[in-house]
A and B are shown apart, each in its own frame.
Chain A
Amino acid sequence: MDALRFIARRLVLMIPILFGISILTFVISNTIPGDPARLILGPKATPETLSALQEEMGLNDPLYIQYGNYMAGIFQGDLGQSTYSQRPVSEDLVRYFPATFELTMFAMVITLLIGIPFGIISASRKDKIADQITRVFALMGVAMPAFWLGLLFLLFFYLKIGMFPGSGRLDTGMSPPEYITGMYTVDALLTGNWPVFRSAVMHLVLPGITQAAITIGMITRMTRSSMLEVLGSDYIRTAHAKGGSENRVLYGHALRNGVMPVITLLGMAFGHALGGSILVESVFSWPGLGRYAVNAINYLDFPAVMGVTMLIAVMFILVNLIIDTLYFFIDPRLKHD
């Protein structure tokens, strides 16, 4: 089948991309000044123990040997040992990733629910007051640094009016739901644990909106410009000439065409949100991959940094693959080429 061939081709294309990313991260993290061995041993270590550890960690080998060893490990499912947490990196990823994924998915849902309708309203009321307001907010979303917005939210919604909790994933004292996916909302739903579900959702709100601010702005602007382009096209004029009402033309003809390019951007937005989680998680003490990555960088924990980067890269590529496949099904022009 066409679709299967398409997916297979894209999967094969992933391999060189992942290789490229691994080389790049490996080189970058190894050129950061600083010595992980020294960091582990602390300032009081003797030169002998230091050089012994350096030797043991393979830090004296040439870079390409180190890279080769690392990749050899990856193919056996071994991402190395985190020098900071003293656990296998793969174990840490499994532990922290669901929290980040949950937050990111939440942010993406908010992005879709707000960004696309706002973009449509903005385009269909071009230059009117609703459009002006939406555009200002979209621009603010794109331009405002996430950590700053997060701090504002914390100040107002948590400290001042106490509407939403400001840190962590659950109320203090509440125990997490039974581990199924690692995403508390999903697990709570699956086990029918309503108090935990409520708490988990409430904890998602502030970091979710903070993380979504940029992507909402991106998607709103993209939807607006794409819809405007479509609304000016010949087939929209045809639809009007047939006697279709404004709404019929807008939702029956313009929407599907206008949203197509936005779907492509969603992949980018997802990557953006995943990457942005590092800042947001720090602001809201969200125990996810982002905070893990920050610690890993601070402790020159190279295997952990590599692990996180590779995981984010794989996620990013996978999401874009899913989106491209989706595209393949909704745009009849691709099927027949």
Chain B
Amino acid sequence: MLLEVNDVSLSLRRDGKYSKILDHVSFQVNKGETVGIVGESGCGKSMTALSLMRLLPDKAKLEGSVELQGEKITNYSKRKLEKVRGNQMSMIFQNPLTSLNPLQTVGTQIEESLILHTNMSKKERRVRVLKLLNDVGLPRVEELIDEYPHQLSGGMRQRIMIAIAMACEPQLLICDEPTTALDVTVQAQILELMNEIKEQTQMGIIMITHDMGVVAEVCDRVIVMYAGKVVEEAPVVELFQNPKHPYTRGLLNSIPKLGQRKQKLGSIPGTVPVPENMPVGCRFADRCSHVMDICKSTVPQVTEIKENHQTACWLYDEEGGNKDATTGSNQSQTTLHY
């Protein structure tokens, strides 16, 4: 087990009031595995990632535990955590256009990780930076190393970000929508690169995305989040063929049929509840077409559907008694088009 996230809850302060952004989020990532985190905008995907890195906004309250290779990094001091960030655990962000320092050359920015976490000499660092630039598929690396971010395209800058993240060969790579800001062809190239990296290294990858197409392309296992909670978890094929939670089905149904990836999710009617005003029962109840009385009063517990596949929904809960069994399988057929 590479990463074990147990009951992580996060509260953030806004306008003087705390609101719970993440509620008992638990999942694991194995070595060499790519885990997708999907869900609509605002469901807490980025905050989950930032909680792992502990790069949270001021005054954030974080509970629960995160273990990286058996080490409980949630107990680490700031100092100790700095040694982990960028070294054992790296992160790539959504917007490559603004994620690089405009006043430093790309070489300097990649080199910084090496300065922070290795004892390499200046010469060795340069060699390593050139190799990294090469590895992420960038051309004319000898010149590129001295260029500034504004001289590069979005796709190239995201490759630089990947090079920065890979510099110290981390065990865990967290990608927060790494391709959302890029155009389709560049997206495909970056995903291909991610797949190559995954094969070459035995890194664990967390891939956060809105995009079920990206999930299908790179993920082994998928975690579906809704309003700060994990509602379903399954291997990728299982999830596409046999989605259980009505929310997951909604997400899958909203994939455009011809596989154009650009389209955003969100064709499920209704809106996500705000953290300040969470329903007492299931958070999806108001938008769910299978809603039952119990959904509105009691939070559903995570139930194992089969090995590795679990969901938090009253439809599948023993106690809930699978009351609405008819919806169980016939709908899932519609989602096989991917």
Contacts and interface: CB of A to CB of B under 8 A. Distances in A.
Contact of B116 (A234, A243, A246, A336): A243
B99 A234 contact: yes
A148 interface: no
B55 A332 contact: no
B102 A241 contact: no
A233 B93 CA distance: 12
Nearest to A332: B148
Contact of B113 (A126, A242, A245, A336): A242
B55 A237 contact: yes
A333 B93 contact: no
B122 interface: no
Contacts of B83: 243
Interface string A226-265: 0000000111011111111110100011001100000000
Interface residues of B, number: 32
A67 to B, nearest CB: 47
Contact of A257 (B55, B85, B90, B101): B101
A331 interface: yes
Interface in B55-95: 55, 58, 78-79, 82-87, 90-91, 93, 95
A336 B95 CA distance: 22
B161 A238 contact: yes
Contacts of A253: 101, 104
Nearest to A260: B103
B117 interface: yes
In this complex, the member of B78, B98, B103, B161 whose beta carbon has the largest number of chain A beta carbons within 10 angstroms is B103
A245 B78 CA distance: 9
A269 to B, nearest CB: 23
A331 B103 CA distance: 6
A234 B90 CA distance: 15
Contacts of A235: 98-102
A257 B148 CA distance: 14
Contacts of A234: 93, 95, 98-99
B24 interface: no
B47 interface: no
A13 to B, nearest CB: 26
Contacts of A233: 98
Given A332-B148, A333-B148, A336-B150, A241 B91 contact: yes
B151 interface: yes
Contacts of B165: 241
Given A243-B82, A243-B84, A333 B102 contact: yes
B55 A241 contact: yes
B150 A240 contact: no
Contacts of B93: 234, 237-238, 241
B101 A240 contact: no
Contacts of A248: 116
Contacts of A237: 55, 93, 99
A240 B116 contact: no
B99 A238 contact: yes
B23 interface: no
B194 interface: no
Contact of B53 (A239, A241, A332, A336): A241
- Which residue of A126, A233, A239, A245 has the most chain B CB atoms within 10 A of its CB atom? A239
Given A234-B93, A336-B150, A239 B82 contact: no
Among B79, B112, B113, the one with the most A-chain Cβ atoms within 10 Å of its Cβ is: B112
Residue in A233, A238, A256, A332 whose Cβ sees the most chain B Cβ within 10 Å:
A238
A332 B99 contact: no
Nearest to A335: B148
Nearest to B55: A240
A253 B109 CA distance: 10
B181 to A, nearest CB: 11
Contacts of A256: 103
B161 A243 contact: no
A280 to B, nearest CB: 36
Nearest to A126: B58
B182 to A, nearest CB: 15
A336 B151 contact: yes
Contacts of A239: 101, 112
B185 to A, nearest CB: 24
B164 interface: yes
Contacts of B98: 233-235
B53 A257 contact: no
Nearest to A240: B55
Given A235-B101, A333-B150, A242 B55 contact: no
A53 B229 CA distance: 91
B82 A245 contact: yes
Contact of B112 (A244, A333, A336): A244
Contacts of A257: 101-103
A101 B150 CA distance: 39
A232 to B, nearest CB: 9
A291 to B, nearest CB: 43
Contacts of B148: 332-333, 336
B155 to A, nearest CB: 17
Nearest to A253: B101
24 contacts: A234-B95, A234-B98, A234-B99, A235-B101, A235-B102, A238-B93, A240-B85, A241-B55, A241-B85, A242-B85, A242-B113, A243-B82, A243-B83, A243-B116, A245-B79, A253-B101, A253-B104, A257-B101, A330-B103, A332-B103, A332-B150, A333-B148, A336-B148, A336-B151
Interface of B: 53, 55, 58, 78-79, 82-87, 90-91, 93, 95, 98-104, 112-113, 116-117, 148, 150-151, 161, 164-165
Nearest 7 Cβ contacts at the A-B interface? A243-B86, A242-B86, A243-B85, A234-B98, A235-B101, A234-B99, A332-B148
